[in-house]
Every structure is written in C-alpha cells, then in structure tokens.
Amino acid sequence: MARQLFGTDGIRGIAGEYPLDARTVHAFGMALGSVARHLGRDPEVLIGMDTRESGPWLAGQVAGGLARRGVRTRFAGVITTPGVACLTRAGDFVAGVVISASHNPYQDNGLKVFGHSGYKLPDEEERAIEQEMFRLLAGGGEVEPAAVALREEPSLDQGYLECLLETLTTGLEGLRLVVDCGNGAAWQLAPELFRRAGARVETICAEPNGRNINLGCGALHAETLREAVLARGADAGVAFDGDADRAILIAPSGRIVDGDAVLLIAARSLHAAGQLAGETVVATVMSNFGLEAGLAAEGIRLLRTPVGDKYVLEEMLRVGAVLGGEQSGHVIFSRHATTGDGLLTALRVFEISCNQRATIDDLIFGFKVFPQKLLNVRVSRRMPLEQLPRVQAAMREGERELNGAGRILVRFSGTEPLARVMVEGPDGDLVERLTERIAGAIRSEIGG
C-alpha cells in the first residue's frame, strides 16, 4: 500500500491545515510514540525545528502525543535537519523529529523522522505510523490536542557543533567568509561553527522573525550572497536553505559554486588522498555533464540516480561510495554524516581551500558547465518512450549529433501531465535545436 501522508521528505503542508492541523499532528506524536515503546524500555525522542512561526506549537503537539504514549522528549529548539540526525545517532534517542519545510515559504511546515541510526525511517515504518494515525483519527483512540510545554536545551546544539568540529584536521585560520543564514535554522549555528574553526565571519540574513525564512535569501537566492562577497572582498561565501541540509557557495570571483562543483572539489581531494572508495561519486540525472567529464578526467566514475537525495543515499550505501549529492547543494559525506549537511559541506570545502592554499576558484579549475536546456511539454497521456517512434527517432538523431559529448534525458513528471525534456551539450545552439526537435516529436504523438 502506498503512503498517503509521507512523501520523500516527510509530511509536508500548510501549518494549521490538514495534515498539519493540531489534531493530526497530535495523532502523529501518539503513533510515533506507539512505535517508540517497542524500541526501548524508557524511550526518548529528540525534537528540533527551524525558525518558522508555526514550529513551537507543532513541536508542542508532537511532544503531547508522545507523552500520551509515555514517551519522553528532549527539545533542541532551532537546529538544522542534519543536526537532529547527528544527535539522534550519537545519543540514546530512539528517534528524532525535525519540524521544517526546508526551502519552502514560511506558511509551510513539515514533520520528518530519523531513526536511531540517523537515517530517515524506511517506507514501511512510515506506513505503519500513517496507519496508526488514520486509526486514531477515525475514532480508534481519543485524540484531544494537548501541547506539552518544551524547554530548549542549548547543550544539544553544542553537541552537534562539536561533532562537526571533530571532522577537521586543520583549522580555517585567516579565512574571510560571508555567511547567508537564510533567516533559517543555521542563523546561530553556522557563524559560531566557522568562528570556532578559526575563520573571520560576517553574516547576512541572520535575523529570523518567523516569516522571513528563505525570503529573497539563502541557498535559493545566491545572488544576494554573491553581491555581499564581491562588495566585501571576502575569500568565500556560503548560503544555506531553511533547514541547512544544503549549501551553495560563492568563490571570490563571484562564481556560484553549486552541488556539482562541490562534488568535483571534494572528489578530487579524496581521490588525491586515496580516500575515494571505489573511485566513485553518486549524483542524480540532473547533475551537469560537465561534472561527469571533470570526474572522468581524474579517473573517477559517476553513477546517476533519479532526482532526490534519498536515491543518492540508497545508491551510495549499495555501492559503498563515500561521496554523493545533488546539483541543488545536498551533498552527503557518508564517513561523517547520514544525510546531506550544509554546514559540513561548507566546512569540507573551506578546509580543502586552506589546506591547499588555494581559492575556491582555483579548486574548480577545468570545470566547464555545459549548456543545458529543460523544456516541459504538456501531454495527454503517459506512454513508455519506446512506444513513441517519432520521439525515439528524434532522440537517436540527437545522440548522434552530440557524439558522446552531452546527454539527452526525457522523463514524465510524477505529479503533472508533463514530459520533461533535458538536453546538455558543448554548444548552446545545438542544445536548443535538439530540445525543440524532441519536444516537437512528443507534441506530435501525445501532446495535450
């Protein structure tokens, strides 16, 4: 049976509306509590949140539901998503709950659960929580929303920072950074982390008011940080999204350094140190062909997965890779973390920069971002692509013209009646022409 509430990143919605209304969130706490009771004699669950105004009352309802099942909670307050994953794994917690909607606007929020392993719960466990929630909400138990007053424990934040600092082999002394906190979960943690590592830090967008998270700032609006880095002559900049599981960097030249560039920097460093397991990096189908070409030049293979850091992690675990991520800035260093961690990502790149006495511009030498075109085509129905002869012919012709120096990707949207056509290649005009040709073939056969 498919999950109905849990998506690829937990339960998401508008705070105050189903499934994030008080009664349903309380039922979530009760259902999670029922699971937790089977995992320990005196189970304890960690709760953390980002800076959205809805976070505290949602946390109170989750804790209230847990308490109804005799499960204790500890509250980290505002902390990053990977911070909760780290502490859940390092401590005695049977689970960790993050209240965040990542890069979404402040009206949205979400509930994500990590197991004691630090990994997101398997689908079957999320399905079991859902089914118990539905049973409770249908009258299978008394669900009267009652929040628990939570006391924030600053020592939990400090424990997470210590875990990050322990990954350093050298410091960041003398590095001048601008940090865009996105008015989100990293607003206190990131500046403290980099200062303790030895860097000189200036912050922007570090004044959360409950409604300005991700608003014109952070990882989704890197131009704000770029202007600040150039204006202040900084050595580098980093921008985080709302829950700081992703990071976008800025080189001193003003060049935006996305997840693809970070993967190349990290892969080169690990490869040179003999620490890149299997000489393999995992990324998604959306990573630029320039990353694949740059890695190949170093003798490193790139494995691709469907879009989603969940799939990247699954493939990393399957093949034993230690590095993987997404173009969007989710990067997973599996020797140090169980999930993408923006603070850890920035720390790794800055440490490489200091160790090699090289700027970030130097570290991405030879990285050529190939022109890319993405076009959405409305369709009347979804059909296997191999059953569409005109589309197949257009794709084969395009592959011949690219001659191994690019990519063609055609896939259907999972939520909308759209076919997505993506073409990459060394020449922008060629990319444009091939994209339009393939899109035209789709319209002629199954256009909506």
Task: Give a three-class secondary structure readout of 354-379.
Answer: HHCCCCHHHHCCCCCCCCEEEEEEEE
> What pLDDT is recorded for position 8?
78
The reply to whether CATH 3.30.499.10 applies to domain 11-157 is no
CATH class, domain 167-363, is alpha beta
CATH class, domain 372-446, is alpha beta
Question: Is residue 226 within 8 Å of 254, Cβ to Cβ?
Answer: yes
**Reported confidence tier of residue 234, pLDDT bands at 50, 70, 90:** very high
> What pLDDT is recorded for position 356?
96
**Reported confidence tier of residue 3, pLDDT bands at 50, 70, 90:** confident
Q: Which pair of structure tokens corresponds to residue 19? A: 């499934």
pLDDT tens track for 155-182? 999 999 999 999 999 999 999 999 999 9
Please list, in sequence order, all residues whose beta carbon lies within 8 angstroms of the beta carbon of residue 334, skipping any fewer than 6 positions away: 313, 316, 317, 321, 322, 323, 324
Task: Answer whether residue 1 shows pLDDT above 70.
Answer: no
pLDDT tens track for 87-141? 999 999 999 999 999 999 999 999 999 999 999 998 899 999 999 999 999 987 7
What's the chain's average pLDDT?
95
279 closest CA partner among 337, 325, 321, 318 = 321
**Reported confidence tier of residue 416, pLDDT bands at 50, 70, 90:** confident
Question: ∠ CA(330), CA(60), CA(157), 5° rounding?
Answer: 45
Question: Is residue 334 within 8 Å of 177, Cβ to Cβ?
Answer: no
Task: Answer whether residue 185 shows pLDDT above 90.
Answer: yes
Please list, in sequence order, all residues whose beta carbon lies within 8 angstroms of the beta carbon of residue 414, skipping any fewer than 6 positions away: none
* Residue 379 CA: distances (Å) to CA of 308, 398, 417, 433: 24, 21, 6, 20
- Helix intervals (H) in 273-341: 289-296, 309-319
pLDDT tens track for 280-296? 999 999 899 999 999 99
CATH 3.40.120.10 domain locations along the chain: 11-157, 167-363
pLDDT tens track for 297-348? 999 999 999 888 889 999 999 999 999 999 999 999 999 999 999 999 999 9
> What pLDDT is recorded for position 2?
63
pLDDT tens track for 245-266? 999 999 999 999 999 999 999 9
> What pLDDT is recorded for position 413?
84
CATH 3.30.310.50 domain locations along the chain: 372-446
Helix (H) or strand (E) holding 418, with range, is: strand 418-424
Task: Answer whether residue 240 shows pLDDT above 90.
Answer: yes
> What pLDDT is recorded for position 320?
98
Q: List active site positions.
A: 102
> What SS3 class is residue 99?
strand
User: d(Cα 237, Cα 358) in Å, to the nearest integer?
Assistant: 15
**Facing residues of 73 across strands?**
45
User: d(Cα 115, Cα 122) in Å, to the nearest integer?
Assistant: 9
Buried b (16+ CB within 10 A) or exposed e, 326-359: bbbbbbbbbebbbbbbbbbbbbbbbbbbbeeeee
